[in-house]
A and B are shown apart, each in its own frame.
Chain A
Amino acid sequence: MGGPPYDCMANPLGAVRLTFEKAIGSGSLTQTHPLAFDGKDWGALDLFRHFLFQESGLSQVPILNSKTMRWVQPNSLVRYRGMIQDMLGNEFYVGAYKDGNLWRTNKFMDVSQYPMGTPPDMCVWERRLLYCVPVPGQSSWTEPSCEMEPNRGMDWSSQNREKRRRMDDEDADPLDLREDGFPSPSPESRDSKTASSSSSMSTFQYVDKDNLPCLVKIYDSPESELKLNDVFEFIGVLTVDSELAVEKDDNDELSNSFYDDALVHLPPNKVPRLHCLVHRKLAVHDFLQSSPIMEPHLVKGIREALFRHLTTVLGNDEVAAHFMLLHLLSKVHARVDDVAVGKLSLNLMGLSKESATVFGTRLSQAFKSLLPFTHFIPLTLEYLNTASLAPKKDYQENRLIPGVLQLPEGSHIMVDETQLESGSLSSIGIENTKSLKNLMEFQKVEYDFQYYKMEMAADVQLLIFSEGKSNIVPADVVVPFQPSSLESFEIPVAEALEAWRWYLATVRLLPHSIGSEMQKVVEDDLVAARQADRSLGSRDFSRWLTMARLVSSSFGETCLSLEHWQMVKELERLRRERLK
């Protein structure tokens, strides 16, 4: 549609309303009954999709975070990037109701603007509530540069703010509101009201300055599309209902006891609400500033550069760097029974407390610049005995209390075991070690629902530093770490970093296969190896094949070649030599 008559950015609800009226055929004599739109879109989403993706409006939509929260206006279009931390179930709302002879909709809104009629004149629809948080351990490079000039925002926001003010106003004349429903860029200024509304804005008090959770309301999308711990971008209407806060004072016992669910504990002045119009799952690529198009031969170059970088970071230990590179590319490809195929956790052993600190800092710095989501766990007795690693359901608040191990796919955890001393573990400590071990071995985290536990599949890369081989968190590969120098490494240039990030994100997604000849070679090698050394078991073979896959994808190849297989065997030989 050429030149939309409404401002999708500043007044998305207006657009929703218009499309609704159009779809329902208001004005004409034969109105469509809104029942037809239950669980369906009437065309509003197409409009927004068109605006966002065809007219590239997406980049103009401000990203909601604790910084932008200060100036982003309620009832405007925003986007929010976060991980689905908890699901709060479904909510029933009056989707459409009759106001006089006109059908109106409440979709994408919290509060109805007109008095609602009696039962036959309303339709109840449902929407899902998702509690989202910024992705835990998100590296700073993933945050989009804030190119939104607040000034430009202010232009339309002041006017909008005043609209909001009016909506909030209970005494407001419905006619006034109706007017407001249409995009009428009337720059009339009601300064007094604007001022008062800005004071209401200051009622936002975020517990954590950098951590803005968001309650996302999802309309009409299949349940299987959005899963716990997925990272999504939600684009929708921001509502900040100060009115809702009043609920708490409601001392009607009955309604209170029904209310004592999560919402009471998520007052809207702390957790903004987002009525989601469009959502899309984010991959690492979506966090990259630019997506360079790489040629296969360039992949090798990037690999080489990255490898050199890792070598420097690891004090010139090439073997460790090789394993590190493979480790960073690992990913769970498939699950057969209990086996998570494709994971490659790495245990660098032979570190003392001091060297662990040095290399820990260097590595975590490097990871932060390379990977989207990174974590560091200092494994001390105190930590084990106090931290809550596995998420736990709190039935008082009816919320899932996040644990350190509630992570989206592709997170990286670095565990420093060198700090662990002898001592007693409490029951929490035992649970925690169990959780870590489970994650390590099966890539699964047990969520504690108090009456039962639920296993959730995870895909997390784990790196462990330890003095000896770690038995508490047994890794797939144990590499004795032998740094030879401690020369400081230079901070790589931005382009290189960008290329490496792209490389890490892309290469691990490559498909992989094996030719029948190669398969024969591999099988023969395995049989021969086992004949020679009976202590080799399926676990070792599994590791070799994982490494084979990773080596070949690290070169951008999708099929295992003999050369790469030899490389794996060589790496394994070097590693075993060190273990002796």
Chain B
Amino acid sequence: MASDSSPANFNNGPSSPGDSFSTPIANSSSPAHRRRRGRRQASIPSSAAATPSPNPSRFANSSSTPTPSRSTRRGRRPATSPTPAAAATPSSTDDFPPPSSDGGDDMEEATPTFVWGTNISVQDVKNAIQMFIKHFRETHELRNDVYGEGKYMRLIHRVLEIEGEWIDVDAHDVFNYDSDLYNKMVRYPLEVLAIFDIVLMDIVSLINPLFDKHVQVRIHNLKSSTSMRNLNPSDIEKMVSLKGMVIRCSSIIPEIREAVFRCIVCGYHSDPVVVDRGRITEPTTCSNQECLAKNSMTLVHNRCRFADKQIVRLQETPDEIPEGGTPHTVSLLMHDKLVDAGKPGDRVEITGIYRAMSVRVGPTQRTVKSLFKTYIDCLHIEKTDKSRMMSEDPMEVDKGSQRVEDDVQFDEDKVEELKELSKQPDIYERLTRSLAPNIWELDDIKKGLLCQLFGGNALKLPSGASFRGDINILLVGDPGTSKSQLLQYIHKLAPRGIYTSGRGSSAVGLTAYVTKDPETGETVLESGALVLSDRGICCIDEFDKMSDNARSMLHEVMEQQTVSIAKAGIIASLNARTSVLACANPSGSRYNPRLSVIDNIHLPPTLLSRFDLIYLVLDKADEQTDRRLAKHIVSLHFEDTQIAEQDVLDLATLTAYVSYARKNIHPQLSDEAAEELTRGYVEMRKRGNFPGSSKKVITATPRQIESLIRLSEALARIRFSEWVEMRDVTEAFRLLEVAMQQSATDHSTGTIDMDLITTGVSASERMRRENVLAATRNIIMEKIQLGGPSVRLLELLDELKKQSSGSEIHLHDLRNAVATLASEGFVVLQGDSVKRI
């Protein structure tokens, strides 16, 4: 409590109401009264101690923190004051004996001392603390060696060895050992901590009487932490623990604790003058008996003693702010070692004593305003930083092979929760459902996007070759198929993501530019997107409208992950380790199934092949879907009830899940998985020249196997698994095939190559499909006249079902069959209707 801001503690308050008075609050503060006397005395000897006397233990200590009363260190430092009070008062009239190992005890011998305004006996507390320090053992220690030293004894030894200045005491330990002591400590921190320090010093001096540093107790990890918003008058002078973000640090304030004056007449140096009530009284006369000059004393700066002090402002973290509120702030007072422990922007959890001081109206006025300024006397500060990662850098991933170990850590509870989640058997499906729950179906696309979010492992070989871990996805499709919404959603989920429209995106430009279309007068914002989304996801809408120039940049980005900019003869290579999620409209406004994908989107195959997954999002003119959409929108507008979405993770959890996985899970291929990959790849290669295949198809390239590895790694990450397993590989193949089914094309006919799918299935399945094909051909021969009116696919399906009783036939199968027929030039497929030609 040697708080300087509350100097009044030590002096006899009533005389100076105008002084900043830190103890306005009922009883808790008042121990000052009792202690005041002791302290006052203490200050006298301490000044003596300041003239270094090679005295053992406490004297020495008191000299290191010499000014019990006025020291900068506030309450937390209570040790300073009481210690000398208890021990360093040989000269005082009190019955404190000269420093001895048990000196502290006598304080209570005079009369049983109580913490002011309570029935808490100082002696009891002291004993309790002694017991705690000496005998506390962690549970696992209890079992093993009962005779070894307790946790805190060991800590003390260590502190002595490294000449530390404090020991951290976990409040949970205190609670577990002696909950009564814990409660007292939280309610009367000033008093209890003072005693704590005394006990500690006693122990220290027993172990090493020559140890001349002052060791303090730092309590942390309280049982309950308060929200800044809920601090109220009843918390004053209590120990509190808060989470928040440091927003401002003052410069370090050297606070004078002890001043030395020199007489300008005779050169006599005064005894050190201790700060009293925040002030140093300059001696008016020289105390040299031979001089006695008046007003001759001047301060000798380099003989004064200063301590570090800093005022830090802490602000609520966004998650604690209620709707419609602004963040609260609170001032913290840091001392000595705590100075500069937190920098602006750090998220910290602090433990300290909530204090209030009254506001003086003016330096000269005696009236006290009825206001109090509050601050927290900081005892302990701990960086938490977990949420910062989420808000700022959830996409912060592997940095090549040398992964920088961040000190960033998730809250243990949260991690547990996430791990629990990851153990659910259906986590993959569940995450898929949680991704853009407002967009229905498109499940396979969502699965692909999920893989993109989690990403594979980037690899950098010693040779310098690097393999990206980012998965690039292209969505091609008809307008109005919520591609853009998907993009927006992913963009939101990945805060480092950049959303840009291909139209007018200069891709590399570092600045943004407004352009005006000379014809329509439409204004467009051009921005450089890729560089900005380093380590994120770059979402490019209207990819097809991107200028060739900009697009060519993407080649480099998507494989080498850098952007080169040539300006004024200098070529700069900037990192752009980004996943690209692009969506493109077909070159005609609708996808033309008769043209190849490449023709449809006007993208060069070289660029196209850099996408791991290419999805065709075709708008199937399905009345059911439309009706669902209509219903959804009507209910959105007319029913106040929220559309119930059960079993879906909220965005925050999803983000946490993704970032945790990206951060902490780095799956490796198991042998089994590697085997399967090789096998699958070889099979894919073979398909290209499958004997039954009459047409050329895109065969698998080494790029595909890289994609497969990335996808399976991502899938393992989804499960929080360190090993890529067989099933991951299988699913990766499936995803790739689903994407290929829709996008792998046959250039000879320009249609979607259904053969590819046929060859991808088992022999029996192939047989079945051939049967369907034959049946369809027959039906069409029967039903449709050459050049006659077209027939809808659904009608054909009914017919087909009638004929082939027994086996299930899906629209999907039919569509395949018809497409094959169309490629043979037998029929024309227009949207949903079939016409014979």
Chain A residues packing against B (C-beta within 8 Å): 38, 86-87, 89-94, 106, 109-112, 115-116, 118-120, 122-126, 170, 223-224, 227-230, 243-244, 246-247, 249-255, 257-259, 261, 334, 336-339, 341-342, 381, 395, 398, 400, 417, 420-425, 429-430, 433, 447, 449-452, 454, 456-457, 466-472, 512-514, 519, 522-523, 526-527, 530-531, 534-538, 541-542, 545-546, 548-549, 560
Per DSSP, chain A at the interface is mixed
Give the chain A neighbours of B589 by CB distance below 8 A: 535
Q: How far is the CA of A442 from the CA of B776 in the complex (A)?
A: 50
Nearest first, the 6 A-B pairs at minimum CB distance are: A227-B324, A467-B521, A468-B522, A468-B521, A526-B630, A92-B372
User: Is B296's beta carbon under 8 Å from chain A?
Assistant: no
When C-beta atoms are compared, the residue in chain A nearest to B489 turns out to be: A338
Q: Which residue of B lies closest to A224 (CB)?
A: B322
B629 in contact with A530 (CB, 8 Å): yes
Q: Which of A87, A258, A471, A534 contacts B478 (CB 8 A)?
A: A534
Is there contact, CB below 8 Å, between B370 and A112? yes
Given A119-B24, A257-B253, A420-B516, also A243-B361 (CB < 8 A): yes
Contacts of A513 in B (CB 8 A): 638
Could you name 6 residue pairs across A and B whose Cβ atoms are closer than 8 Å?
Answer: A124-B236, A254-B20, A339-B636, A526-B629, A530-B630, A534-B478
Query: Cα distance A338–B484 when bound, in Å?
Result: 14
Q: How far is the CA of A451 from the CA of B520 in the complex (A)?
A: 40
- Other-chain contact of A258, B331, B366, B631 (Cβ < 8 Å): B331
Chain-A contact segment, one of B87-95, B523-531, B792-800: B523-531
CB-CB under 8 A from B524, the residues of chain A are 471-472
B13: which A residues are within 8 A, CB to CB? 118
A275 to B: closest C-beta gap in Å:
12
Residue from A228, A339, A471 within 8 A of B522 (CB atoms): A471
B375 at interface (Cβ–Cβ under 8 A)? yes
Question: Does B171 make an interface contact (CB < 8 A)?
Answer: no
Interface size class of B (residues with CB under 8 A): 35 or more
Verify B619–A534 contact, CB threshold 8 A: yes
B361: which of A92, A94, A244, A456 is its contact (CB, 8 Å)? A244
Query: With A118-B14, A468-B522 given, is the CB distance from A124 to B369 under 8 Å?
Result: no
- Beta-carbon nearest neighbor of B365 in chain A: A170
Residue of B nearest to A434 (CB): B525
B634 lies within 8 A of A430 (CB)? no
Q: Do B480 and A258 touch (CB < 8 A)?
A: no
Q: Shortest Cβ distance from A327 into chain B, in angstroms?
A: 17
If A94-B24, A537-B482, A538-B633 touch, whether A430 touches B516 (CB-CB below 8 Å) is: no
A170 x B367 contact (CB < 8 A): yes
Contact call B514/A423, Cβ cutoff below 8 A: yes
Q: Are A124 and B356 in contact (CB under 8 A)?
A: yes
Chain B 372-393 near chain A by CB (<8 Å), digits 1 or 0? 1111000000000000000100
Q: Min CB distance, A107 to chain B, in Å?
A: 9
Among B4, B321, B523, residue most surrounded by chain A Cβ atoms (within 10 Å): B523
Known interface pairs A124-B25, A470-B523. Does A538 touch B629 (Cβ–Cβ under 8 Å)? yes
Contact pick for B527, options A252, A430, A514, CB 8 Å: A430
Q: How far is it, in angstroms, between the C-alpha of A537 and the C-alpha of B370 when the chains are bound? A: 62
Query: A122: which of B14, B24, B516 is its contact (CB, 8 Å)?
Result: B24
The segment from B242-250, B457-465, B744-752 found at the interface with A is: B242-250
B residues in contact with A112, CB < 8 Å: 367-370
What residue of chain B has the Cβ atom nearest to residue A88's Cβ?
Answer: B326
Query: Does B329 contact A336, Cβ atoms closer than 8 Å?
Result: no
Interface residues of B in 326-364 (CB under 8 A from A): 326-329, 331, 344-345, 356-363
- By the criterion CB–CB under 8 Å, are B637 and A545 in contact? yes
Chain A residues within 8 Å of B636, by CB: 334, 336, 339, 341, 542, 545
A-B contacts counted at CB < 8 A amount to 277
Residue from the list A110, A120, A452 in contact with B391, Cβ < 8 A: A452
Q: Which residues of B contact A243 (CB under 8 A)?
A: 361-362, 365, 367
Partner of A422, one of B233, B516, B642: B516
The reply to whether B326 and A254 form a contact with Cβ atoms under 8 Å apart is: no
Bound-state CA distance A522–B480 (Å) is 19
CA A224 to CA B357, docked complex, whole Å: 28
Contact of B311 among A257, A451, A456 (CB under 8 A): A257
Q: Bound state CA distance, A522 and B24, in angstroms? A: 68
Once the chains bind, are B480 and A535 in contact (CB under 8 Å)? yes
Q: Is B627 an interface residue (CB 8 A)?
A: yes
Q: Determine the distance from Cα of A420 to Cα of B521 in the docked complex, in whole angstroms.
A: 10
Per a CB cutoff under 8 Å, which of B318, B520, B523, B627 touches A417?
A: B523
Stretch among B26-34, B49-57, B780-788 lining the A interface: B26-34
Q: How far is the CA of A470 from the CA of B514 in the complex (A)?
A: 12
B512 in the interface (beta carbon within 8 A): yes
- CB closest chain-B residue, reference A417: B523
CA distance A545 to B629 in the complex (A): 13
A541 to B345, CA, bound (A): 44
Q: Complex formed: what's the CA distance from A397 to B629 in Å?
A: 50
Contacts of A421 in B (CB 8 A): 514, 516
- Shortest distance between the CB of B247 and any CB in chain A (Å): 5
Known: A249-B362, A523-B627. 20 other contacts (CB 8 A): A38-B233, A91-B372, A119-B24, A119-B25, A124-B356, A126-B232, A224-B324, A227-B323, A228-B326, A247-B359, A398-B313, A449-B315, A468-B517, A468-B523, A471-B522, A531-B626, A538-B632, A545-B634, A549-B637, A560-B638
For A470, the chain B residues whose CB sits under 8 A away are: 522-523
**How far is B360's CA from A258's CA once the two chains are assembled, in angstroms?**
13
A420 touching B523, Cβ below 8 Å: yes
- Say yes or no: B247 contacts A471, CB within 8 Å: no
| 8 Å CB interface, B205-251 against A | 229, 231-233, 236, 245, 247-248, 250
CB distance from B664 to the nearest CB of A (A): 23
Q: How far is the CA of A528 from the CA of B134 in the complex (A)?
A: 82
B361 close to A512 (CB less than 8 A)? no
In the bound assembly, the distance between CA atoms of A19 and B651 in angstroms comes to 52
Give Cα distance in the complex from A426 to B590, angstroms.
37
Closest to A456 in B: B324
CA of A119 to CA of B24, assembled, Å: 4
Q: Would A534 and B479 be within 8 Å (CB), given that A252-B363, A254-B278, A336-B642 are in contact?
A: yes
**Residue of B30, B326, B369, B375 touching A111 (CB-CB under 8 A):** B369
**Interchain CB contact (< 8 A) of A526 among B479, B523, B590, B633:** B633
Q: Which residue of A lies closest to B358 (CB)?
A: A94
Note all chain A residues with C-beta closer than 8 A to B408. Answer: none
| In contact, B369 and A110 (Cβ under 8 angstroms) | yes
Task: Give complex CA distance A468, B515 in Å.
Answer: 12
Contact residue among B253, B326, B327, B374 (Cβ-Cβ distance under 8 Å from A253): B253
Given contacts A116-B17, A534-B478, A422 and B515 within 8 Å (CB-CB): yes
Q: Bound state CA distance, A116 and B629, in angstroms?
A: 69
Kindly state the separation between the CA atoms of A452 and B524 in the bound complex, as whole angstroms: 28
Beta-carbon contact of B523 and A454 below 8 Å: no
Cβ of A93 and Cβ of B370 under 8 Å apart?
A: yes
Known: A400-B326, A420-B514. A258 touches B361 (CB 8 A): no
Question: Quick one: given A115-B17, A124-B372, A227-B325, are A336 and B643 in contact (CB under 8 Å)?
Answer: yes
What's the Cα separation between A422 and B527 when bound, in Å?
13
Q: Is the CB of B480 within 8 A of A536?
A: yes
Q: Is the CB of B438 within 8 A of A337?
A: yes
Q: Assess whether B621 is interfacial by the CB under 8 Å rule.
A: yes
**Given A124-B356, A246-B362, A468-B520, is A92 in contact with B374 using a C-beta cutoff of 8 Å?**
yes
Residues A472 and B525 in contact, CB atoms below 8 Å apart: yes
Query: Do A250 and B360 touch across chains, with their CB atoms under 8 A apart?
Result: yes
